[in-house]
Amino acid sequence: MNTKSYYFILLFSGLFFIESLAQSNFAKIEAADKFYNQRDYANAALYYSKVINDTNVNQSRVLPYKIQMVNLSILPKEEKKKNQTVKNDSTSNTGKDSLAASQRVTPVKQAPIANDSTKKSSASATTVDPKKVSKYDYVLYRLGLSHLYNNDYNNASLYLKKCVERNIYTDANYFYALSLMNNKKYQEALGAFEAFVSSPNSNDSLVKIARKKEAGCYLGMDSAKVSREIKVSKLDTSVFNNGNSSFAPTFYSASNKIIFTSARKGNIVMDPKRQDGSYLCDLYYTEKTDTSWSPAVNFRGPVNTDAHEGAAFYSEDGSIYYTRWNDVNPKEAFIYKSKSNGTMFFQGMKLADNINMPGYRTMQPCLSPDGKLLYFSSNRPGGMGGYDIWVSTIDENGVTGAPKNLGAPFNTSGDEVTPFIHAISGTLYFSSNGLAGLGGLDIFKCDFNSTDGLFGFPQNLNAPFNSSKDDAYFVLDRISGTGFFASDREDCPGGNCYKIFEFMNKPIKFSLEGIVFDAQTNEPLKEALVSIIDAHGVDEPIYVATDDQGNYSVELKPKMEYFLKAQKNKYFGDAGSLNTLDKTTSQVFQQDFFLNKIPAGEIAIDGIEYDFNSAKLRPKGMENLDKLVDLLNLNDNLKVSIEANTDSRGSDAYNLKLSIARAQSCVDYVISKGIKAERLVSKGWGETNPLVTEAEINKMKPKSEEWEAAHQKNRRTALKVLGESEIKIINSSK
């Protein structure tokens, strides 16, 4: 063979190799794009990385399932259309990605739970055309995004940083910053977010989100927000965190019995094509005896099937509500209800279509304490973007009403998921990535105001509940001492997986403080006695005296209703009330008192009415005497006289007799309400003690309004303080 022929063969072989390599890479990109569009980011990352590294794909990746959440509300129109037409059966591969299909096992999935919707939505919003950029840049960017959406933040920041350095994609700064934030590199993330925001070509929708993320970075760096008294620990792997993922803890009839969701070996498998149930989600339960949890028990059929079951809620009627979804159509997830006869659960029934809207995901049910409201998360139309919290009524027959969106400030353009209502306080807990947080999903709470029936503004629970990753499925026991949540804060191979954590709440402490004032002068009163009394009469009263500046303070107990009063000699007392029944966080209550001086003369008791020519009290008069009873109960150190007067019409003897009878009827009524007789004196004055003298009345026109008013003023019932016992200064709070 001559030299020319040798070089020709060598050149031809090289060209053939290059062409084969190009075709191989093209097939890998096609396969990767297919997985990416199906939101199977684990396999997309695998195939994109093979293009970058120029190696063969030997095995597709199988990871626990997490329903991918995409906020379609901020996608460009062409991207919305594209997302709606993408097939979701990730096992259906044709054409040049058939190699991938032949090697791929359907990914069994982790949890019906949101990732950062801003990441997902912006991913589609930044879909790139490989014809307009180099193939390397296209694959590099897609690889970084795939790692990001698969929660593999270390690899995401590695590849997205290269995209930033190559300055090809404007949005790369945003996603790079997001990966840094999820890695708890808040200071670096701030710089990347600012670089993105200041760029003239930045996506306006992402700029708004980036500003919220910047606020979250500052929150994450604020060590003062971290509660050092709350103890968080991951539960043991033998019971709870066994297998690929565990999440959605919820109470099962008692605080020491827990239902949770887990993907692990031994889960129910009915499909003969499936090797095992290691990546299927099933419902389990366990019970705590003494200090340890019993082995987890699979609910088995008919509750668990070879689909995925998870995110359950146990209702007071013995039923469980739970979420069911499958791999065939991951665009859908529905809520089911399984009734119980006390020993076993029956076949689960899917809730009505007004709850389970076909084509959308409805999941994570939770009932209000009275069982009349169903809360859930859904990406159905009519929301504010991504997944929102919705609520529906449940009537006495179990029929659900039309769902209503909770609206702002609870729902945002991001994702709001895993609602939970605390049984005692009514507080709403949920997770969101649309509110300022530490990264990913953060747990928020909204206190419930029982007076107006409204939830307060969302408050971030901060660390240690929240992390730079996803934190969700928060539940709290009835007495507010312990609770559980799920988090992917700990890395697992190929991304992050949910695990269940337990927390011990910091001791809840309550105290009461305030000042006692003179009501007329606003001067503080020293040595006034403040009494804190159990409204149910079980606990002994607590007494505390004011200091020289009129201040007082005292510790209170949880789960109590208190009656409060302040007293001082020569003053009428003042009262208040408070309760610690529904409080889930420590609180300092404020209660000031204003005491009025006791006058030397009589105090008119308005509205005491009698039948004509009778001492019998009318109902209106009794109502006004009830106020006098309250006054005497509050001022239990006073002795008083109830005095009746008449006008001058009629004989003196008749008027005196009538007034004595009327005064006594008042005293008798007050005694009947529990006031001791020795504290009361009745006195009838007849017409002998007028406020308007007869001489003054005679100057008025008879039967005129002025004339009638003068007689009415004289026909009065009054109170006079005769004496008071000494108020002993007690300080039992010390």
- Bridge partner residues of 460 (DSSP): 444
Question: How many Å apart are CA 46 and CA 55, to the nearest integer?
Answer: 11
574: domain CATH number?
2.60.40.1120
426 assigned to some structural domain:
yes
707: domain CATH number?
3.30.1330.60
HEC per residue, 4-31: HHHHHHHHHHHHHHHHHHHHHHHHHHHH
- The angle at the Cα of 589, spanning 583 to 591, to the nearest 5 degrees, equals 140
Q: What is the chain's mean pLDDT, rounded? A: 82
Does residue 106 share a domain with residue 197?
Answer: yes
Does residue 549 share a domain with residue 416?
Answer: no
Q: Enter the tokens of residue 479.
A: 């007495």
Does residue 183 share a domain with residue 71?
Answer: yes
Whether residue 302 is preceded by a cis peptide bond, meaning omega within 30 degrees of 0, is yes
499 assigned to some structural domain:
no
Cα 610 to the chain's mean position, in Å?
55
Does residue 690 share a domain with residue 569?
Answer: no
Does residue 458 share a domain with residue 362?
Answer: yes
For residue 425, the model assigns a pLDDT of: 82
Range of the domain at 381: 238-243+265-277+284-481
For residue 97, the model assigns a pLDDT of: 29
- Top mean pLDDT of 16-25, 107-116, 531-540 is at 531-540
Residue where a domain terminates, one of 597, 632, 647: 597
Which among 534, 537, 540, 577 has a CA at the least distance from the CA of 559?
534
Does residue 156 share a domain with residue 74?
Answer: yes
How many domains in the chain?
4
Contact 622, 669 (CB under 8 A): yes
- Tell me the three state secondary structure of residue 446: strand
Mean pLDDT of 157-186: 90
Contact 72, 56 (CB under 8 A): no
Which among 23, 31, 24 has a CA at the least distance from the CA of 97?
31
pLDDT at 10 over 70: no
User: How distant, in Å, are the alpha carbons of 15, 41, 264, 488, 500 from that of 495?
Assistant: 39, 10, 17, 9, 17
- pLDDT tens digits for 597-645? 999 888 888 878 666 577 888 888 898 899 999 999 999 999 999 988 8
For residue 610, the model assigns a pLDDT of: 66
For residue 716, how many C-alpha atoms fall within 13 Å in the half-sphere facing its CB?
Answer: 19
User: How distant, in Å, are the alpha carbons of 138, 180, 212, 466 from that of 174?
Assistant: 17, 10, 12, 22
Residues sharing a CB contact under 8 Å with residue 362, sequence separation 6 or more, in sequence order: 323, 333, 334, 335, 351, 355, 356, 376, 377, 378, 380
Which among 548, 541, 634 has a CA at the least distance from the CA of 596?
634
- pLDDT tens digits for 559-580? 899 999 999 999 999 999 999 8
- Bridge partner residues of 632 (DSSP): none
- pLDDT tens digits for 442-462? 999 998 887 788 899 999 998
Does residue 551 share a domain with residue 445?
Answer: no
HEC per residue, 514-533: EEEEECCCCCECCCCEEEEE
Does residue 630 share a domain with residue 574?
Answer: no
Contact 365, 335 (CB under 8 A): yes
Q: Is 271 buried (19+), middle (13-18) or exposed (0-12) by CB count in 10 A?
A: exposed
Which among 471, 502, 472 has a CA at the least distance from the CA of 182?
471
- The angle at the Cα of 39, spanning 156 to 19, to the nearest 5 degrees, equals 75
